[in-house]
Amino acid sequence: MTDSAKALVGHVRAADLDWQDMGDGTRRKILGYEPQMLMMRNAFETGVQGPLHSHPHVQSSYIVSGQFEVTIGAVTERLGPGDGFLVPSGVEHGTRCLEAGEVIEIFTPIRDEFV
């Protein structure tokens, strides 16, 4: 049985979850998943850069705090608390954290490498 065949569903209290230190200036908490979707909370230190990349998953992100420079395709915007972005499957994108903050990210289908 693969991890994606399992599920972490139901009510989730972020305070009950430990941060996973990713070792690159980011930490994350997996808030829930099932085969069709994954939701996680990420914390970024100032200066962290997510290089341009693409993946087959649709990605929806909501900025809780901080300031980020977000590139989707050929367009770059500065986004902050309350802003969000949606990246279609296969579209190149990347971020740069301008001011430490947190982002809620949802991927569909699940990103098996994250669970």
Model confidence pLDDT, tens digit, residues 39-74: 999 999 999 999 999 999 999 999 999 999 999 999
Q: 48 lies in which domain range?
A: 40-109
For tokens 């941060």, what's the residue?
A: 19
pTM: 0.90
Question: Is the CB of residue 39 less than 8 Å from the CB of residue 104?
Answer: yes
Residue 28: inside a domain? no
C-alpha 69: how far from chain center: 14
Q: Is the pLDDT of residue 77 over 70?
A: yes
Band (pLDDT 50/70/90 cuts) for residue 2 is: very low
If one counts the domains in the chain, the total is: 1
Residue 49 CA to residue 97 CA, distance in Å, equals: 6
> Within 13 Å of residue 28, how many CA atoms lie on the same side as its CB?
17
**Is residue 16 in some structural domain?**
no
CATH of the domain at 102: 2.60.120.10
* Mean pLDDT within 83-104: 98
Tokens of 73: 């395709």
Does 32 fall in a domain? no
User: Edge-to-edge, what's the strand order for the sheet holding 49-53?
Assistant: 49-53, 93-99, 67-72, 75-79
